[in-house]
């Protein structure tokens, strides 16, 4: 197995553990924004989609790349915007609320 793959596996496993540690600390109140925020992060496939647009002399690949860019951008733009919109709704108790 080439070194690059081994390194990628190492990175994947360590990142998974970081993910487990961080996400168990997210309170249940924020689980929906966590999911929509995860949607946004999984939009990182946009990187692969951008690279794929560079494939020349293959119409099918260009079609795939176009749809992949569009789908990934839906996740990136939609994911971050809707998460921000939701998080903006979470407020602390107002001062004027009675004791």
Partner 1 sequence: MNVNLEALLYLVAAVAFIIGLKRLGSPRTARNGNMISGGGMALAIVVTLIDNEVSWAVLVAGAVVGSLIGAVLAMRVKMTAMPQMVAAFNGFGGLASALVVGAEFLRGDGEAIFPVEVILTMILSVFIGAVTFTGSMIAYAKLQGLLSGSPITYPGQKVANAALFAGILGFGVWTQATQQSLPFVIVAVISLILGVAMVIPIGGADMPVVIALLNSLSGMAAAATGFVIDNSALVIAGALVGASGIILSALMCEAMNRSLTNVLFGAFGAVSEQSGPTVHGDVRSTTADDVAIALAYANRVVVVPGYGLAVAQAQHALREVASILERRGVEVRYGIHPVAGRMPGHMNVLLAEADVPYDYLLDLDQTNAMLPRTDVVLVLGANDVVNPAARDDSGSPIYGMPILEVDHARTVVVVKRSLSPGFAGIDNPLFYKDGTMMLFADAKKALNDLVAALDLV
Return the residues of window 51-90 that contact partner 1 according to CB under 8 A: 51-56, 58, 60-62, 64-90
Q: Least CB distance from residue 59 to partner 1, whole Å?
A: 10
Return the residues of window 27-56 that contact partner 1 according to CB under 8 A: 27-56
Q: Is 3 in the site for partner 1 (CB under 8 A)?
A: no
Q: Least CB distance from residue 9 to partner 1, whole Å?
A: 8
Residue 80, C-beta contacts closer than 8 angstroms, at least 6 positions apart: 37, 40
Per-position b or e across 33-67, b if 16+ CB within 10 A of its CB:
bbebbebbeebeebeebeebeeeeeeeeeeeebee
């Amino acid at each position: 197995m080439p070194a690059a793959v081994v390194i990628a596996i190492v990175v994947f496993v360590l990142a998974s553990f970081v993910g487990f540690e961080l996400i168990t600390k997210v309170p249940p109140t924020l689980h929906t924004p966590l999911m929509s925020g995860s949607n946004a992060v999984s939009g990182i496939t946009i990187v692969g989609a951008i690279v794929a647009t560079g494939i020349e002399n293959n119409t099918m690949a260009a079609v795939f790349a176009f749809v992949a860019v569009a789908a990934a951008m839906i996740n990136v733009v939609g994911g971050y915007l809707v998460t921000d919109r939701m998080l903006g709704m979470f407020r602390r108790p107002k001062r004027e609320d009675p004791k």
